[in-house]
């Protein structure tokens, strides 16, 4: 199993299982001399943390980051940075009855691929795996901030409820992380109704990267949008990604879709800040289709590992809608790709 790493120059490797002792990440390639504190990492983990509202999982995790290496006196040393987050509210016994049952919507392919699986909350396929991503993303964000780049995300849609343009001053105080209070109120009601019915909802998370210069990306197989798509779809709940106007471009003419250059810059940004696989200097815009949480409170008909029909009575704790907690995860993945692309560009220019 060798697919736990991401990046070429800014590299990460995540580890840990949902109901094991800890989650974590090793980050290699971080430049020495960069200011980095435990608070920089903790603030991002707190945004992802469960148990903070009725709209997310009730699992109570403090998610306290420990930096084991690579940082000294608040400055990166150039050595690999290892960050560990201990699991304090793991309840593996909640899943003992599910050891031989195929859970609908979960990663049963793991068993076919490796001949073994960790049934305790999904193991490595659990959403808790994203703890390491968010911790690493905090480091990537610190690097990008030194370059004037800011990555922000918000929930743009829950079920069929769509939000208007984001008000970034409101996003983090909004329990849905929507930034449109009228839409957020309707989203909250829909999530609570699904939760009361033992069900879950999906949605769309929108990501923006501001201050990205022109010239990031490497055609043809390492195009910036290709690298971003790979990273974002690697998030367990994400089933689709679009850039700029996305699938809407299929309904347009060329004259409508082209971003016309002017002496003052582009007249539009239908492409979402990337053309020919390279950033244009405009804001990067991405949207992620997020599936409903597969663990729900309703009984579901399924089969056991021998193919016999059984009824699944789900226990445990889950998010009625994962979108609010996916916001910092999406930001982290975009930041990681941009940091790597930045270093790749600098390396190629220097050589």
pLDDT at 34 over 60: yes
- Give the other-Cβ count within 10 Å of 29's Cβ: 17
Which CATH fold topology does 5-350 show? Answer: Chorismate synthase, AroC fold (3.60.150)
Mean pLDDT of 9-30: 94
Tens of pLDDT, residue by residue over 177-231, are: 999 999 999 999 999 999 999 999 999 999 999 999 999 999 899 999 999 999 9
CA atoms within a 13 Å half-sphere pointing along the CA-CB vector of 349: 9
Cis peptide before 220 (omega within 30 of 0): yes
Using alpha carbons, select from 204, 205, 230 the residue that is nearest to residue 336.
230
Mean pLDDT of 21-40: 97
Mean pLDDT of 1-6: 81
CA gap 280, 269 in Å, rounded: 10
Mean pLDDT of 103-118: 78
Using alpha carbons, select from 235, 330, 245 the residue that is nearest to residue 285.
245
The pLDDT value recorded for residue 52 is: 67
The pLDDT value recorded for residue 315 is: 62
pLDDT at 272 over 90: yes
Local confidence band at 70 (pLDDT 50, 70, 90 cut-offs): very high
The pLDDT value recorded for residue 246 is: 98
Q: Say what the pTM is.
A: 0.94
The pLDDT value recorded for residue 266 is: 96
Query: What's the distance, CA 206 to chain centroid?
Result: 11
Mean pLDDT of 309-337: 91
CA gap 182, 30 in Å, rounded: 42
pLDDT at 122 over 70: no
Question: 3-state DSSP: the chain helix, strand, coil percent, rounded to 5?
Answer: 30, 25, 45
As a whole number, the mean pLDDT across the chain is: 92
CB 320 within 8 A of CB 121: no
123: DSSP letter: G
Query: What's the distance, CA 288 to chain centroid?
Result: 9
Which of 71-85, 107-121, 310-324 is least confident? 107-121
pLDDT at 57 over 80: no
CA gap 270, 257 in Å, rounded: 6
pLDDT at 137 over 80: yes
């Amino acid at each position: 199993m060798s697919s736990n790493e991401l990046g070429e120059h800014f590299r990460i490797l995540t580890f840990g299982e949902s109901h094991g002792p800890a989650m974590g990440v090793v980050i290699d390639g971080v430049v020495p001399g960069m200011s980095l504190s435990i608070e920089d990492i903790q603030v991002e983990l707190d945004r992802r943390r469960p148990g903070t509202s009725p709209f997310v999982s009730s699992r109570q995790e403090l998610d306290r980051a420990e930096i084991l290496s690579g940082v000294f006196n608040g400055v990166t040393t150039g050595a690999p940075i290892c960050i560990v987050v201990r699991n304090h509210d793991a309840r593996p016994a909640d899943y003992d009855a599910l050891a031989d049952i195929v859970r609908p919507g979960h990663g049963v392919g793991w068993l076919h691929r490796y001949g073994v699986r960790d049934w305790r909350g999904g193991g490595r396929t659990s959403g808790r795996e994203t703890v390491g991503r968010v911790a690493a993303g905090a480091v990537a964000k610190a690097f990008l901030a030194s370059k004037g780049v800011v990555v922000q995300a918000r929930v743009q849609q829950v079920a069929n409820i769509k939000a208007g343009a984001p008000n970034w001053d409101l996003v983090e105080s909004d329990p849905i992380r929507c930034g449109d209070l009228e839409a957020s109120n309707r989203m909250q009601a829909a999530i609570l109704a699904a939760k009361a019915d033992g069900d879950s909802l999906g949605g769309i998370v929108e990501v923006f990267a501001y201050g990205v210069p022109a010239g990031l990306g490497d055609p043809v197989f390492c195009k910036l949008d290709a690298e971003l798509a790979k990273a974002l779809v690697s998030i367990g709940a994400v089933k689709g990604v679009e850039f700029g106007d996305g699938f809407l471009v299929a309904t347009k003419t060329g004259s409508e879709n082209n971003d016309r250059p002017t002496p003052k810059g582009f007249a539009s940004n239908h492409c979402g800040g990337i053309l020919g696989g390279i950033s244009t200097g405009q804001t990067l815009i991405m949207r992620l289709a997020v599936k409903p949480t597969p663990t729900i409170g309703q009984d579901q008909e399924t089969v056991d590992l021998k193919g016999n029909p059984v009824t699944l009575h789900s226990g445990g704790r889950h998010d009625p809608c994962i979108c609010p907690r996916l916001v910092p995860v999406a930001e982290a993945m975009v930041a990681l790709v941009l940091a790597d692309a930045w270093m790749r560009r600098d390396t190629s220019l220097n050589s």
